[in-house]
Amino acid sequence: MKWSQFFNTSIGKKLLVGATGFFLCSFVLVHLAGNLQLLYKDGGKAFNTYAQFMGHNGLIQFLAWGLKIVIVLHAFIALQLTIRNRAARPVKYQVNPGNQTSSWFSRQMAIMGSILLIFIVVHLAQLWAPFHYAEMPTQSYEGVSEPIKDLYSVTYALFQNPLWVILYVVGMIALSFHLIHGFKSAFQTFGLNHSKYNGLINFIGLWLFGIAIPVAFAAIPVVIYLNK
């Protein structure tokens, strides 16, 4: 079986979705660590110098563009699989088992992924695109040679509007539900199902990626809004 055939099989495509999914999980972790600096009460020094570094470091920028390609790949292949999966049952059942035979989360991957994709597009348009391609107010800090873009204040201004706060919280609920099944599911796709490790994988998938990370992300707009 050639590579082109291998990655065109159902399992081959799932491997690509799983691998890109793992990469996105690692991104989510790094992104959260950086973003939590928004909650420092230092006039934005830590966050803005961090954003300045991330926005201008060659390696980071290379990875950032790779990340966007990975998101598109992940969504595109998952969409292909979903269309095929729906087509595999041309006549539906009148009675479905619901939660009796599978978890609700495991059946909502395409829906949650779609909400998440919409959120990502809005998020990039609101904060990433202006930061890179538009004029933005600058701020000078002690120990920093030049005035740098004040993404901190722009973000604070954005979250004065409760509608954006709600959108970001909804996006993180979708992230939570997507990862509660997605993280552990990717291990199974890679064939990693072993009684010695399943407990740890399920724990990290549920509590770290499914709950802690989305809650911490969602806390940022909520805290900013409540402290206005």
Partner 1 sequence: MEHYNMNLTLKVWRQKNKNDQGRFETLQAKNISSEMSFLEMFDVVNEELINEGKEPIAFDHDCREGICGMCSMHINGRAHGPWEGTTTCQLHMRAFKDGDTIVVEPWRAGAFPVLKDLTVDRSAFDRIIEAGGYVSVNTGNAQDANNIPVEKHKADLAFAAAACIGCGACVAACKNSSAMLFVSAKVSQLALLPQGHPERRTRALNMVAQMDKEGFGSCTNTGACEAECPKEISLTNIARLNREFINAGFTSEK
Residues that bind partner 1 (CB under 8 A): 1, 5-6, 9-15, 81, 84-98, 100-103, 106-107, 109, 181, 184-185, 188-193
Can you spell out the DSSP letters for the chain?
--HHHHTTSHHHHHHHHHHHHHHHHHHHHHHHHHHGGGG-SSTTHHHHHHHHHHHH-HHHHHHHHHHHHHHHHHHHHHHHHHHHHHHT-SS--SS--GGGTS-TGGG-HHHHHHHHHHHHHHHIIIIIHHHHHS---EE--TT-SS-EE-HHHHHHHHTTSHHHHHHHHHHHHHHHHHHHHHHHHHHHHTT---TTTHHHHHHIIIIIIIIIHHHHHHHHHHHHHHT-
The nearest distance, CB 77 to partner 1, in angstroms, is 11
Q: Which CB sits closer to partner 1, 148 or 174?
A: 174
The nearest distance, CB 89 to partner 1, in angstroms, is 5
Q: Which CB sits closer to partner 1, 10 or 227?
A: 10
Q: Which CB sits closer to partner 1, 8 or 140?
A: 8
Q: Which CB sits closer to partner 1, 108 or 139?
A: 108
The nearest distance, CB 8 to partner 1, in angstroms, is 9
The nearest distance, CB 179 to partner 1, in angstroms, is 13
Q: Which CB sits closer to partner 1, 58 or 98?
A: 98
The nearest distance, CB 150 to partner 1, in angstroms, is 44
